[in-house]
Amino acid sequence: MRLIVRIGFLVVATILVAARVFAQSAASPVPSAAATPAAVVELKPGTVIAADNVEQFSRYVPAAASFAVAHGFKMRVLPERRVEWSQGFQHATEKYAATPAAMPPTIACSKTTCASGAKSFGISSTAAARMTGVASKNEKRAACS
């Protein structure tokens, strides 16, 4: 019964996913090759993104920034540059980082040893009770006969 329920669930899920993919592909047709070069605009340093040209750069501008630009915010594109960590952060990272020299060695085996004279680990210091089993029953039978 569970197998039938699982198979039914997978079939329904597959149909729903296929329907969603089909609906999305039908709603947004693929643009023609002639329209593609005009739609792709390069971001160059110095470009100012404002309410009048935000649609051209919608590929690069997230929804929240697009909302801000539509309400008067302007964005200026800057050239790429490397951002270094502050000296304090870098010093603290190097000071508190776990390095092989600062870490104690790890051991894969247990360090626990048996008490002197003990043959195995255990809590009790007295001898264990004799186990009754097939061997002891056989001994008793042999003694009785």
pLDDT means per 10 residues, the chain with 145 residues, are 75 72 61 49 90 91 93 93 90 81 61 56 62 69 77
Per the DSSP assignment, residues forming a β-bridge with 49 are 75
Burial class of residue 58 (count of CB atoms within 10 Å of its CB; 0-12, 13-18, 19+) = middle
pLDDT of residue 142: 80
> What pLDDT was estimated at residue 78?
92
pLDDT at position 36: 47
Question: What's the predicted TM-score (pTM) here?
Answer: 0.36
Q: Phi and psi dihedrals of 48, rounded to 5?
A: -110, 125
pLDDT of residue 34: 45
Measured CA distances, 86 to 79, 81, 83, 96, 97 (Å) = 21, 15, 9, 16, 16
User: What does the domain layout of the chain look like in residue ranges?
Assistant: 38-79
